[in-house]
């Protein structure tokens, strides 16, 4: 029986082991552990990769979202809209700045934010005289949202746009990378991400110089200048460790190759499973580059399929099994089953199959063969 993990970080490490060890040794030899030279260099390199003038690293992707909301002026009492089929980091950042999370449903084909639902919700909130200030667009699983529609709606109603790009490093919408559309974009470099550190790490990118300055201050205890003990504001301790920046600099050089390998793996999954109508394959919108952070299918008999995969040595997962509006943490919002039907249907059927650059064709053939037996 084979042993195929959902993500194989060890295989990736073996491929870049010498480079990683050399870069970490350089950091150790200089003892520049906090805000060392590699941090600034990675910020410059990742900003260029995202085609954005400003990148500020932070301790993790969740902090990136929280500090982004703070930096664009979201205040206690404001209303911020996002989807329910995402990780809780996309919404807890809203409440943690004192704002109100407002949930909407998704496009049932792409699993991404539904622009029609977004505009309807904005109108509803404005009719109630409620201060709706921003939308968090989640580029889920590695596919970009419909940014033209979202930017148009945001412009019409004076909303800030935050791109949650935690799963979409290198994804393109109409030839432009995610992170270059909204007021600010947030990335996670959690180890399992397409571009992952060896611990927690995150970043924001923005075209707005004043927002970038604000992030730089907030992440470092409110320091604005070089004086270590002068604080222009109350901030946070959310600095990226230099060792993590060094790791990310090595990996960024390989990201395009790894992305192409992910896309090729997705194409093989499609080729092998397209004739099995019980398996709903990922829908990819026109004019986008989907980078397949996760390869998510839908099956009606998910528990049976998962059991079959597991017993044959194939890891799988569910991203995400409980929509946010049904999470115990959001019981106070008063939502109930049936409020967001598209998200609820897919949450009962979605299944994440193994996906990483080092996944081989023979492994994918084996995975698909097992699925076909159910």
For residue 226, what pLDDT is reported? 76
Give the Cα-Cα-Cα angle 144, 146, 151 (nearest 5 degrees).
115
Residue range 19-57, pLDDT digits in tens: 999 999 999 999 999 999 999 999 999 999 999 999 999
Instruction: Give yes or no for residue 1 having a pLDDT over 90.
Output: no
- Beta strands 176-177 and 295-298: pairing type? unpaired
- pLDDT beyond 60 at 146: yes
Kindly indicate the confidence band of residue 228, based on its pLDDT and cuts at 50, 70 and 90: confident
- In 87-194, DSSP assigns E strands to 100-104, 132-138, 160-164, 172-173, 176-177, 184-188
Distances in whole angstroms, Cα of residue 316 to Cα of each of 16, 260, 297, 309:
25, 22, 11, 7
**Could you confirm whether domain 9-252 is CATH 3.40.640.10?**
yes
Query: Three-state DSSP class for 39?
Result: helix
The pLDDT of 9-25, averaged and rounded, is 97
Whole-number Å distance between alpha carbons of 126 and 111: 26
**Residue in 314, 281, 318 with CA at minimum distance from that of residue 302:** 318
**CA-wise closest residue to 220 among 202, 234, 210:** 234
pLDDT for residue 275: 96
- Sequence ranges of the chain with CATH classification 3.90.1150.10: 255-373
Q: Is 131 exposed, middle or buried (0-12, 13-18, 19+ CB in 10 A)?
A: middle
Q: Where in the chain is the domain with CATH 3.40.640.10?
A: 9-252
CATH of domain 255-373: 3.90.1150.10
pLDDT tens-digit readout, 152-167: 999 999 999 999 999 9
Do 228 and 18 meet the contact criterion of CB atoms below 8 Å apart? no
pLDDT in tens, 63-97: 999 999 999 999 999 999 999 999 999 999 999 99
Around Cβ 306, how many Cβ atoms within 10 Å? Answer: 18
Average pLDDT, the chain: 97
Beta strands in 199-337 (DSSP E): 202-206, 288-289, 295-298
Q: How far is it, in rounded angstroms, from Cα 316 to Cα 237?
A: 35
pLDDT tens digit sequence for 101-143:
999 999 999 999 999 999 999 999 999 999 999 999 999 999 9
pLDDT tens by residue, 320-343: 999 999 999 999 999 999 999 999
pLDDT of 304-318, one tens digit each? 999 999 999 999 999
Q: At 83, which helix (H) or strand (E)?
A: strand 79-83
Selection from 61, 67, 153, 142 nearest residue 104 by Cα? 153
């Amino acid at each position: 029986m084979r042993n195929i993990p959902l993500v194989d970080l060890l295989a990736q490490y073996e491929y870049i082991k010498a480079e990683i060890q050399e870069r970490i040794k350089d950091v150790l030899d200089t003892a520049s552990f906090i805000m060392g030279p590699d941090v600034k260099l990675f910020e410059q390199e990742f900003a260029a990769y995202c085609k954005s003038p400003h990148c500020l690293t932070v301790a993790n992707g969740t902090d990136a979202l929280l500090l982004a909301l703070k930096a664009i002026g979201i205040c206690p009492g404001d209303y911020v809209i996002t989807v329910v089929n995402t990780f809780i980091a996309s919404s807890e950042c809203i409440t943690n700045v004192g704002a109100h999370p407002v949930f909407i449903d998704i496009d049932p084909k792409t699993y991404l934010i539904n622009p029609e639902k977004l505009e309807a919700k904005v109108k509803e909130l404005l009719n109630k005289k409620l201060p709706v200030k921003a939308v968090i667009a989640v580029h889920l699983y590695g596919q970009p949202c419909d940014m033209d529609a979202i930017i148009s709606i945001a412009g019409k109603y004076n909303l800030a746009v935050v791109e949650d790009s935690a799963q979409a490093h290198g994804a393109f919408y109409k030839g432009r990378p995610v992170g270059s559309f909204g007021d600010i974009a947030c990335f996670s470099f959690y180890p399992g991400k397409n571009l992952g550190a060896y611990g927690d790490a995150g970043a924001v990118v923005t075209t707005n110089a004043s927002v970038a300055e604000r992030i730089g201050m907030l992440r470092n205890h409110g320091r604005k200048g070089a004086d270590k003990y002068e604080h222009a504001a109350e901030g946070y301790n959310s600095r990226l460790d230099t060792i993590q920046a060094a790791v990310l600099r090595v990996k960024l050089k390989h990201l395009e190759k790894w992305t192409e390998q992910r896309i090729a793996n997705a194409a093989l999954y499609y080729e092998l499973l397209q004739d099995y109508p019980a398996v709903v394959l990922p829908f990819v919108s026109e004019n986008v580059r989907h980078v397949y952070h996760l390869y998510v299918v839908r099956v009606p008999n998910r528990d049976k399929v998962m059991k079959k995969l597991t017993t044959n040595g194939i890891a799988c997962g569910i991203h995400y099994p409980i929509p946010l509006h049904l999470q115990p943490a959001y019981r106070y919002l008063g939502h109930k089953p049936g409020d967001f039907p598209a998200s609820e249907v897919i949450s009962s059927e979605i299944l994440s199959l193994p996906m990483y650059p080092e996944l081989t064709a023979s492994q994918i053939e084996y995975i698909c063969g097992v699925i076909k037996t159910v």
